[in-house]
Amino acid sequence: MSAEQDRHFLQHALRLAREAQESGSSPVGAVLVGPDGKVIAEGQNRTGEKFGPERVGGASLAHAEMDAFFRAGKLEDPETLTLYTSLEPCLMCGGGSALLQVGRIVWATDDAWGGSGRLIAWDEHQAMKDTVTTATPFADLEHDGALLFAPEAKKSFPAEGWALWQKRYPQETAGLEDVKGKGE
């Protein structure tokens, strides 16, 4: 994929993240794209939505990437696919991507607390060594994603996680003193 395509699909993932937020879920979106640039499936965080026959919802595993994978069904040639996400995948979604053998993952915004990269080295883990990762290739989209997710990070993460977010994204986390943090 070209840099122009990467930008387009990350913007698409960010739009889905905004839709998730408007639906009462965490603001995370994902787009699974074939080598021809065709969208195979979209997903958004649905933890705040009801479970339905056409989607997973209302459960802790209703993350954007998992939603996209469930919607995609059986993947043909997964090593040729690219997963675009608004936020660095967590261990569950990163692990799911590896088990499905997705060839490439691109995310708009690092997740200083919940992202897989904080806990494992993508290129060193046996299951993930064949997955190419591209973190935050566009500063403006990283900023947009961090602004979008920062209030959720403050509400959902423990103090240690919020501190990591503040360190990684000082500008985007400033002014969130009125948002109640976890355990406050």
The catalytic residues are 65
126 CB burial (10 A radius; 0-12, 13-18, 19+): exposed
Strands 39-44 and 132-135: unpaired
Could you tell me the sign of the dihedral formed by the alpha carbons of 98, 101, 102, 104, in that order? positive
Q: What is the DSSP letter of 75?
A: P
Tokens describing residue 13: 């993932």
* Neighbour count for residue 29 (Cβ, 10 Å): 31
Tell how strand 29-33 and strand 39-44 pair up: antiparallel
